[in-house]
Structure 1
Amino acid sequence: MTPDLCRLLDIDIPILSAPMGGAAGPDLVAAVCEAGGYGTIPLWGRPVAAVAAGIDAVRARTGGNFAVNIRLDLPHDEAIRACIDRQVHAVSLFWGHSPATIEAARRGGLTVMVSVGSAEEARIAAEAGADVIVAQGWEAGGHVWGQVATLALVPAVADAVNVPVVAAGGIADGRGMAAALTLGASGVWIGTRFLASREATIHPDYRARILAAPETASEWYGDLYDGNWPKAPHRALANATARAWREAGAAAPGQRPGEGEAIGLDPRGAAVRRYQSYTPHPETSGDIAAMSLWAGQGVGLVRDVQPAAEIVREIHEEARRILNAAPGLLE
């Protein structure tokens, strides 16, 4: 199944874990790698020493290849250098365009994955030397770069480039994986399903809401949770914060109900404020349900807490069964 991507990443299963900031720590990334997939750890916005420490923490848990996720809208040259110095297998670049960064990473021996929201962005990244294109559909949870749904985006991107394409957005089981592969993807990028993994570093109340949510509970917002990350569209579970904001006429930042009030404390004791871009950690306290509970539209398919390795194997095996039966589906 998708040998080109698997050879490039040196993996057995073309399932990649999404770099969910605050949720995808070394344990989750390593567990996905150990199961034969490919983990991605978010290390953006950190000092070089913290980037190096994050890389070392994953390597202490797995000998498998993984990627370091880096935001292009933040200073990132030193992080790229740390990845090169640490001889990480790959970097995952998102939230911006930077052919120069792609070229620098490639010169340093890194495999480069670039997240895009359109076929034109994919072409630009591939021409700059990207090895893998991640086509992120509008259904994806967390911060969403584009506005095209996965079903339409993946084949458009696959037609536009000659490098492996990884489908992201709304994929939470083997049916979604099989569909993505038939659309032209070489693998899948999964986030929301891994929020229900035992290794995800999220608050129990957040996980419980993921497990109970229907597919309609995931909503797209242009600028709701903009604290610490302004002007960045995102998708999260509907909650009391979002309802109050809508009832107030979807007021602009600076005019929203309860804006700036402390609704909890992070593990260091710092205030978590309403409308802040923040992933509730297991040790976060306060009104967890009122915080930014990132989730994609695949959330309605997430019903059990499982080890990450079991999730990888289950999705892969289901996709194989479906694809093996495909010749008979139209008879």
Structure 2
Amino acid sequence: MSPPSLQTPLCEVLECRYPILQAGMGGVARAELVAAVSNAGAFGCLGMVRESPQRITQQINEVRSLTEMPFGVNLIPAATDPELFRVELDACVQAGVHTMVFFWDVVADAIKRAKQAGCRVVYQVGDVEQAIKAEAAGADVIVAQGVEAGGHVHGTVTSLVLLPRIVDAVAIPVVGSGGFASGRSLVAALALGAQGIHCGTALLATQESFAHDVHKQTIVQADADDTLHTDAFAINWPPHSAVRVIKSESTAKYEQQPFGHSADAMPREQVAEEEGRPVYLMSTDSPLKSMTGELDRLAMFGGQVAGQVTAIDSAATVIRRIVDEAEAVIDGFARSLLD
């Protein structure tokens, strides 16, 4: 087990060694990354948003062929056709998934169904009201996402402000998300009352991630002020859904007016394809290994923490670096108190 300094109740709930959760990034977080994260002692999560039940089952089986450690599956009930969500969740239940991870507006029935099937439930939210709703509906863990986060962003305030507010509002474990990619940030989250951190950007740019190399290199080359918070990547998601991406040629025309865009107003300009499926400019598709085309024009999801990601390492290296740094910081605090 990990040293007492990093062993939080969250680790008992999720049955992981370290209080570090990998974000369930749609498309990016597939079996190889999930297994690598869980094998490293953290908690891996498949990003299966709007995937077929067949692919979900295949990915779950592949993770299990690579690790014996627990992992989760991320679905988004509020942004998925109800019938598709039903069969997605059925696939997870039939496979005996350890933990369901949900995001966006709280859908109480999704929590109820997962809990009745014996799953643990983690709900990622962007404000206090949604955290309270998730707890009331039976969630086991809340992920509090600050506006610094990459990908889809549901809140409007920073992690530093949001995290202690949600910690004070609920009784279940809270995990910090948005701006967390280091051991120092893990210790900071613990100091704010959280029981762990949730990492997306730092694990997107790893060797095992299913993100295309063009996306990984974009993260590595980006700094903290190279991101854009916008709703311009509107195709495929509910209206006015904010994301954070690394700025690119595709975002230049939206940087002066990042909000107020609609999918209906976006022309369907195909810039890439994936296994015969057209991929459109200003959709929520990010570049994946399975895509071809003008991938540099797609959504380069990334948080402000991208400035701390300087190389494409293995997932195990990233987890080990976070843990070692956190333990060193805590040890340094202990030594300074004794001096």
TM-score by length of 1: 0.93
Which runs of no fewer than 5 residues in structure 2 stay unpaired? 1-5
Q: Once the 2 structures are TM-superposed, how far is the Cα of residue 249 of structure 1 from its aligned partner?
A: 8.9
Deviations 1:100-157, CA, capped at 9 Å, x for gaps: 2212211110000011111221112112211111111111100011112100111111
> 1:96 is matched with which residue?
105
- 3-state DSSP of counterpart to 1:240: coil
Q: Relative to 1, partners in 2 of residues 1:330 and 1:167: Cα closer, same or farther, differing over 3 Å?
A: farther
Given that residues 8 and 196 in structure 2 are in contact (C-alpha distance below 8 angstroms), is that contact kept between their aligned partners in structure 1? Answer: no
> 2:175 is matched with which residue?
166
Among 201, 204, 207, which residue is 2:213 paired with?
204
Q: Quote the sequence identity (%).
A: 34
1:303 aligns with 2:310: yes
Deviates more, 1:4-13 or 1:46-55: 46-55
Superposition pairs of residues 139-288 of structure 1, within 5 angstroms? 139-221=148-230, 223-231=231-239, 232-246=241-255, 252-253=261-262, 259-263=267-271, 265-288=272-295
Q: Relative to 1, partners in 2 of residues 1:7 and 1:125: Cα closer, same or farther, differing over 3 Å?
A: same
- 3-state DSSP of counterpart to 2:322: helix
Aligned length: 327
Which runs of no fewer than 5 residues in structure 1 stay unpaired? none
Given that residues 266 and 281 in structure 1 are in contact (C-alpha distance below 8 angstroms), is that contact kept between their aligned partners in structure 2? Answer: no
Given that residues 7 and 17 in structure 2 are in contact (C-alpha distance below 8 angstroms), is that contact kept between their aligned partners in structure 1? Answer: no
Q: Relative to 1, partners in 2 of residues 1:167 and 1:190: Cα closer, same or farther, differing over 3 Å?
A: same
Given that residues 159 and 176 in structure 2 are in contact (C-alpha distance below 8 angstroms), is that contact kept between their aligned partners in structure 1? Answer: yes
- Paired with 2:72 and 2:257, the residues of 1 have a C-alpha distance of 42
1:37 aligns with 2:42: yes
Q: Relative to 1, partners in 2 of residues 1:226 and 1:175: Cα closer, same or farther, differing over 3 Å?
A: same
Q: Relative to 1, partners in 2 of residues 1:219 and 1:38: Cα closer, same or farther, differing over 3 Å?
A: same
Deviates more, 1:76-85 or 1:291-300: 76-85
What amino acid maps onto 2:160 in structure 1?
Answer: L
> 1:314 is matched with which residue?
321
Given that residues 227 and 244 in structure 2 are in contact (C-alpha distance below 8 angstroms), is that contact kept between their aligned partners in structure 1? Answer: yes
> 1:51 is matched with which residue?
56
> 1:72 is matched with which residue?
77
Q: Relative to 1, partners in 2 of residues 1:145 and 1:329: Cα closer, same or farther, differing over 3 Å?
A: farther
CA RMSD of aligned residues (A): 2.0
Moved over 6 A (4+): 247-251
Given that residues 2 and 14 in structure 1 are in contact (C-alpha distance below 8 angstroms), is that contact kept between their aligned partners in structure 2? Answer: yes
> 1:24 is matched with which residue?
29
Given that residues 281 and 297 in structure 2 are in contact (C-alpha distance below 8 angstroms), is that contact kept between their aligned partners in structure 1? Answer: yes
> 2:3 is matched with which residue?
none
- Paired with 1:83 and 1:198, the residues of 2 have a C-alpha distance of 26
- 3-state DSSP of counterpart to 1:122: helix
Q: Once the 2 structures are TM-superposed, how far is the Cα of residue 255 of structure 1 from its aligned partner?
A: 5.2
1:118 aligns with 2:123: no
- 3-state DSSP of counterpart to 2:299: coil
Q: Once the 2 structures are TM-superposed, how far is the Cα of residue 44 of structure 1 from its aligned partner?
A: 2.5
